[in-house]
């Protein structure tokens, strides 16, 4: 899925080419793109209006049109915006006419959306219900993360992926930020120390800025509006590096599932106590099995709401250890 850096890359490419132009035509070939709004309703609301500004909020492209009309475009999994493509695209869902330019919304999996907001109040209500802190601004600090994560037992990676908390961070940049901040993806979000929240906030901003500088990451479908691919994938430190040597410690990088998404971590780090919950049910045998398959899944660290000590443990030392982890 295109994340904040990919959407910002598109915005920066398109803004000087669309701002000040009239949106002359909105040809919606796939009605699902704007459901529940009918294509004719959306077309009537935006056609003939000047594009005053092309903005971004989280992963949304915000087309600010004349008379405070807003067209909100989300690329979802495989959406791509191509400006004046030389050949017909294979999965065209929408064509946006801008005088002598045509912008094509190409989307093989048909998850992308276009929505309408009439007036600033409607726009604010739309985003308030869906998006949290904008990470590239001054809002994202260690204290902000700490306040948002307080009392939350969900894995920190799941917390970062929740758009209602932090807008725009997805699987790629969550992996890279957590690796840079030296925070295990499965650690409960509310259990970090103050210094770790500070480091994580800085790491999130660092990787997002690096992604923008590199023009985004092109792994599957993402392309710039001129068809050029991004380059951030060439600088991954942990994402998609399964089986490769860790750039920090040299041990093998392994893949495991966190928050329903694949993540990476050096194998040696997974074996160290500080990276795993103190009530992990992993045994030497299961470690060996995981090493054989080279894929570690999250089952040894139960997901909320079942963060608790396994019933077979009676040692007061272990109970104390799990209690200290919760703190």
> Which of 2, 5, 135, 155 is flagged as catalytic?
2
User: Is 193 among the residues known to form the active site?
Assistant: no
- Per DSSP, the residues of 287-313 read HHHHHHHTB--STTSPPTT-----TT-
Distance from C-alpha of 77 to C-alpha of 326, rounded to nearest angstrom: 35
Distance from C-alpha of 143 to C-alpha of 125, rounded to nearest angstrom: 25
Residues with Cβ within 8 Å of residue 7, at least 6 apart in sequence: 56, 58, 59, 60, 61, 75, 168
* Helix ranges (DSSP H) in the chain: 4-18, 39-46, 120-128, 142-149, 156-161, 171-181, 194-213, 267-271, 284-293, 316-326
Which residue carries 């040299």 as its tokens?
250
User: Is 2 among the residues known to form the active site?
Assistant: yes
What letter would DSSP give residue 246?
Answer: P
* Helix ranges (DSSP H) in 154-193: 156-161, 171-181
User: Is 302 among the residues known to form the active site?
Assistant: no
Instruction: Give the helix/strand (H/E) hosting 183.
Output: none
For 58, the 3-state DSSP assignment is: coil
Q: Would you call the peptide bond into 205 cis, given omega within 30 degrees of 0 as the criterion?
A: no
Instruction: Give the helix/strand (H/E) hosting 126.
Output: helix 120-128
User: Is 59 among the residues known to form the active site?
Assistant: yes
> Which of 5, 39, 57, 59 is flagged as catalytic?
59
> Which of 21, 261, 318, 326 is flagged as catalytic?
261
- Which residues are annotated as catalytic? 2-3, 59, 261
């Amino acid at each position: 899925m295109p994340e904040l850096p990919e959407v910002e890359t598109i915005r920066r490419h398109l803004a000087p080419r669309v701002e000040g132009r009239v949106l002359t035509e909105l040809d919606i070939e796939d009605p699902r793109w704007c459901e529940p709004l009918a294509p004719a309703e959306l077309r009537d609301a935006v056609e003939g209006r000047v594009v005053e500004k092309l903005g971004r909020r989280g992963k949304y492209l915000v087309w600010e049109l004349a008379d405070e009309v807003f067209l909100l475009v989300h690329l979802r999994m495989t959406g791509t915006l191509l400006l004046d493509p030389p050949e017909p695209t294979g999965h065209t869902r929408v064509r946006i006419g801008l005088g002598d330019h045509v912008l094509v919304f190409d989307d093989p999996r048909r998850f992308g959306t276009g929505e309408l907001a009439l007036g600033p109040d409607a726009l604010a209500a739309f985003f308030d219900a869906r998006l949290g802190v904008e990470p590239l601004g001054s809002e994202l600090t260690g204290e902000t993360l700490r306040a948002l994560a307080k009392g939350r037992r969900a894995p920190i990676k799941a917390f970062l992926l929740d758009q209602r908390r932090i807008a725009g961070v997805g699987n790629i940049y969550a992996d890279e930020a957590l690796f840079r901040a030296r925070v295990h993806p499965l650690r409960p979000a509310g259990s970090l120390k103050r210094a770790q929240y500070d480091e994580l906030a800085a790491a999130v901003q660092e990787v997002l800025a690096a992604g923008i500088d590199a023009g985004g990451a092109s792994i599957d479908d993402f392309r710039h509006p001129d068809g050029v691919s991004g380059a951030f994938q060439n600088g991954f430190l942990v994402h998609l590096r399964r089986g490769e040597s860790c750039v920090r410690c040299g041990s093998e990088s392994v893949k495991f599932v966190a928050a329903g998404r694949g993540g990476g971590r050096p194998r040696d780090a997974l074996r160290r106590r500080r990276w795993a919950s103190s009530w992990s049910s992993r045994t030497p045998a299961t470690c060996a099995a995981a090493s054989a398959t080279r894929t570690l899944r999250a089952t040894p660290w139960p997901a909320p709401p079942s963060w608790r000590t396994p019933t077979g443990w009676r040692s007061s030392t272990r109970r104390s250890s799990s209690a200290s982890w919760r703190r």
